[in-house]
Structure formats: structure tokens, C-alpha cells
Amino acid sequence: MGSSPSELPNFRIPHAEKIEWMIETKGWALEPVSAEPSGDPPTPGYCYTIGLPELHGFPEIVVFGLTPVAVSGLLDMVVDQLASGVDIPIDTELVGLFDNELRCVFASVDVTSRVDMFRTGVAWHRGESFAMVQLLWPDRNGWLPNESGFDPAVRLAQPVIGRVAGGH
């Protein structure tokens, strides 16, 4: 049968050690942040990377509104592209990352105005400034969250904190 909870080993390790272990084993870490539905304003869950500038000279990436497992798979794909030498443009629409020619944008984020959102990343970078982009992904109809046609049912799940040009 199974072990009782008192017989299971304790795998609790300090958070900083988990981040360090992920970076040592994978080259970068993923930091999930839980949703704060009772906040003012409410905040959806999001995930962000730690270690990409050192690994590939690319900014850290934040993604809102997807599960950590989905974000991890998506960012594994992005990191593979960076590792193979693909130059990913920032602050401009990009086609080809997602299937079916769907667009996305890696939009610059002003981390200094959002320090509270990225505490672990700020601690990892020892308070030094670092670049970050928000990966804006399309809704099921191909609209990006900064565009007027974006599905209002998922608008709260993907707030735009990155710099973007006006929507269509």
C-alpha cells in the first residue's frame, strides 16, 4: 500500500535553492506566481523565467494566464529557438512561434515599476536591473490582448504589462 504522511521523506528545501537547482540542471528557472483574485485589482496567475539573460542574452520572460506546465513547455520551445541561434525580435509582432501562423509579441516590461511582481527574480539578480519581456499570446481567434477584438472572456487572464503599439 502507500506510506502514511509521517513516513514520507521531507523534500522541503529553501526556495532560493530550488531556483539554483533549476538553473544548474536546466539553465533557467520558472517561477510560478499564484493568482490573487481578491486583490485590488485582481491578478491572474503568471510565471516568469530566471536566468535567461545569463544563458542566452535574452530578457527574462513573463507569461500570464496559462498553467505553469503549459508555460514551461512553451518557454522550453522559446529557449530551444534561442539556443539554436534564432534572433527573436522584441516589441514587434512575430509569426512562426505558434502553430497556424498565430501572432505573438515579446513586449518589453519595465521591471522597476513592477518589482513586487518579480521578487524572486529581483533577489536572484541581487537587486541589479535586468530586462524582461511579456510573451503576449493570442486568443482562439488570433487576436492579441492589446487588440480590440481580443476575447473579453479571457482579457482578465492576460493583462498587458509590456510595452505595445496600439491595438487594431
pLDDT in tens, 11-41: 677 777 788 878 888 899 999 999 988 888 7
Report, in angstroms and rounded to the nearest whole number, the Rg of the chain calculated over CA atoms. Answer: 17
Reading phi first (left if > 0) and then psi (alpha if -120 to 50, else beta), residue 3 is in: beta
**Confidence (pTM):** 0.87
Q: What is the DSSP letter of 16?
A: H
Three cell numbers written together for 66: 496559462
Give the model confidence (pLDDT) of 103-158 as tens digits: 999 999 999 999 899 999 999 999 889 999 999 999 999 999 999 999 998 888 99
Displacement of CA 30 from its chain's centroid (Å)? 8
24: CB partners within 8 A, 6+ apart = none
Give the pLDDT band (50/70/90) at residue 167: very low
pLDDT at 4 over 80: no
Residue positions counted in the chain: 168
Q: Give the DSSP H or E segment for 60.
A: strand 60-64
Give the alpha-carbon dihedral of 97, 94, 149, 168, to 10 degrees: -170
Summarize pLDDT for 38-95 with one digit per residue, the tens. Answer: 888 788 999 999 999 999 999 999 999 999 999 999 999 999 999 999 999 999 999 9
Q: How many CA atoms lie within 13 A of 58 on its CB side?
A: 26
The three-class DSSP label of residue 147 is: coil
* Per-residue pLDDT at 90: 96
**Alpha carbon of 41 to those of 30, 44, 53, 114, 121: distances in Å?**
24, 10, 30, 14, 22
CB hemisphere CA count around 8 (13 angstroms): 7
CA 139 – CA 76 distance, rounded (Å): 21
Pick the more confident residue, 160 or 127. 160
